[in-house]
Amino acid sequence: MKNKREQQQQHQQQQQQHQQQQQQHEQQQQQHQQQQQQQEKHQQQHHHQQHQHQQQQQPQHHHHHHHHQQQHHHHHHHHQQQHHQQQQQQQHQQQQQQQHHQHHQQQQDRLPPFHRDRDRRDREREEREREREREREGREKGERRERERREREEREKGEKIGR
| Residues 8-36 pLDDT 10s | 666 666 666 555 555 555 555 655 555 55
Residue 60 lies in a domain: no
**pTM score of the predicted model:** 0.22
Query: Phi then psi for 43, rounded to 5 degrees?
Result: -70, -45
Cα dihedral value 151, 152, 156, 162, nearest 10: 40
Rounded to whole angstroms, how far apart are CA atoms 84 and 102? 27
Does residue 17 belong to any structural domain of this protein?
Answer: no
Determine the Cα–Cα distance for residues 93 and 99; give it in Å rounded to an integer. Answer: 10
Radius of gyration (C-alpha) of the chain in whole angstroms: 30
Q: Quick check: is 30 in a domain?
A: no
Which residues have a Cβ under 8 Å from the Cβ of 92 and sit 6 or more positions away?
31, 53, 57
pLDDT band at 59 (very low <50, low <70, confident <90, very high): very low
Say if residues 58 and 118 touch (Cβ distance below 8 Å). Answer: no
Q: Please check whether residue 158 lies inside any domain of the structure.
A: yes
pLDDT at 146: 95
* 133 falls within a domain: yes
Domain that holds residue 136: 114-163
Residue 56 CB contacts under 8 Å (≥ 6 apart), including other chains: 31, 34
Residue 64 lies in a domain: no
124 occurs within a structural domain: yes
Q: Are 23 and 64 contacting, i.e. CB atoms less than 8 angstroms apart? A: no
pLDDT at position 148, please? 96
Q: In terms of Cα–Cα distance, which of 74, 81, 70, 68 is closest to 7? A: 74
CA-wise closest residue to 36 among 85, 89, 108, 106: 106
Is residue 144 domain-resident? yes
Q: pLDDT exceeding 70 applies to what percent of the chain?
A: 28
Residue 24 CA to residue 26 CA, distance in Å, equals 5
- Kindly report the average pLDDT of the chain as a whole number: 64
| Confidence band, pLDDT 50/70/90 cuts, at residue 48 | very low
Q: Give the tens place of pLDDT for each residue, 142-163.
A: 999 999 999 999 999 888 776 6
pLDDT band at 76 (very low <50, low <70, confident <90, very high): very low
Total structural domains in the chain? 1
